[in-house]
Amino acid sequence: MDEFKVTPWDVEGLVDYNKLIEEFGTSPLTDELLEKTAQLTKSELPLYFRRRFFFSHRDYDKVLQDYESGKGFFLYTGRGPSGPMHIGHIIPFFATKWLQEKFGVNLYIQITDDEKFLFKDKLTFEDTKYWAYQNILDIIAVGFDPDRTFIFQDSEFTKIYEMAIPIAKKINFSMAKAVFGFTEQSKIGMIFYPAIQAAPTFFEKKRCLIPAAIDQDPYWRLQRDFAESLGYYKTAAIHSKFVPGLMGLEGKMSASKPETAIYLTDDPEEVGRKIWKYALTGGRATAKEQREKGGEPEKCVVFKWLEIFFEEDDKKLMERYHACKNGELLCGQCKRYLIKKVQEFLKEHQKKRKEAEKKVEKFKYTGELAREQWDKAVPEALKG
């Protein structure tokens, strides 16, 4: 379990999440915090929280305090539009939607077409703008409140440059290098980019809560170094685990390994065949051996996907776990069950994605929060 590596660009190996909490210096998302979340929202926790898909945080306790005391908070997340979105990308958006809905707060979604163009040698700016639009459809399909959600694309909402300038005066090359591993060959756009990414944490003079996979944490550590010197809050975050690819629990689902990923625009029938063919299970070499020794659900991608997203019902999930352990279930049965769940999800998502085409304008320009942001002057403290 020693060989794993987590940076904002790579996740390799089987991840030891407790070790990540220690290494990143974050805090575990405790039972107490989750109970308080349930209590404040007067809701049952969704599976992302019940099952600790979100497992770590920074200052989430303070976010809850701010909510309780009436100060409030806001949500910020984003997407780097370098290609089609897969299931691993969209799950945190569902968790974010739950938070928006239950706490009734504003949400800012940054589409970083500048970042992806700058960091990916082979992508043109036209490419990342194309994917920006495509990805926005997937995001809207999740079902956010169009009047409390502002989706903005860096290359369009260039006001963000003005906000990034005071931030970019707080970070020197050495600091950025330490966090992001820049070299002499890094393009000056890449070097500047952390300032653009930090800017939305200052969109409101409240605490900002970022739900994101833990590999994104380094970006926010820099923000937390200088935020208070600009008269703002250090951003808070809740960190998710990674959604593994079809072929193994190591690492995360990756768009660069298409056979391991389920894209949101994939044809559901094709997806069925892909899962059937590629999904790694915790099964034994033969059906006979499996019936005798039982399967190993902790080594099984099919079970992991059900756990993370596709089996809403805790009781059913546990029954499946035990049935597998006891050798009562064969892998084909589980695969078929997962395939049905994934296909249902994709059909529903693709329907909503189609409807989203008519909603893009509202989320980007004409919704209440969008209009407010386009009209708003730059926050006082960011005036330098």
- Residue ranges binding its own copies (CB under 8 A): 114, 117-118, 123-129, 155-156, 158-162, 164-174, 176-177, 182-192, 194-195, 382-384
Of the candidates 112, 228, 236, the residue with the CA atom closest to the CA atom of residue 170 = 228
Q: Supply the minimum distance, in Å, between the C-beta of residue 161 and its own copies.
A: 3
> Please, which residues have CB within 8 angstroms of residue 324's CB and are 6 or more apart in sequence?
282, 294, 295, 296, 297, 300, 303, 334
Cα–Cα–Cα angle for 304, 241, 313, rounded to 5 degrees: 45
Residue among 31 and 184 whose Cβ is closer to its own copies: 184
User: Which one-letter amino acid corresponds to residue 85?
Assistant: M
Q: Shortest gap between Cβ of 228 and its own copies (angstroms)?
A: 18
Instruction: Report in angstroms how near the CB of residue 304 gets to its own copies at its nearest.
Output: 38
Nearest residue (CB) to its own copies, 55 versus 193:
193
Q: Which residue has the tokens 């379990």?
A: 1
Query: What's the chain's length in residues?
Result: 384
User: And the tokens for 302?
Assistant: 């099919």
The CB-of-108 to its own copies minimum distance in angstroms stands at: 17
Shortest distance (Å) from residue 196 CB to its own copies: 8
Tokens of 328: 């009562």
Q: Are 192 and 172 in contact (CB under 8 A)?
A: no
Q: Closest distance between its own copies and the C-beta of residue 343, in Å?
A: 37
Beta carbon nearer to its own copies, 168 or 210: 168
For its own copies, give the closer residue by CB, 228 or 292: 228
Nearest to 99 by CA among 59, 143, 141: 143
CB of 186 or CB of 333, closer to its own copies: 186
Query: Which one, 104 or 231, has the nearer CB to its own copies?
Result: 231
DSSP string computed for 236-275? EEEEE-PPPPTT-SSS---TTSGGG--BTTS-HHHHHHHH
Are 275 and 339 in contact by the 8 Å Cβ rule? The answer is yes
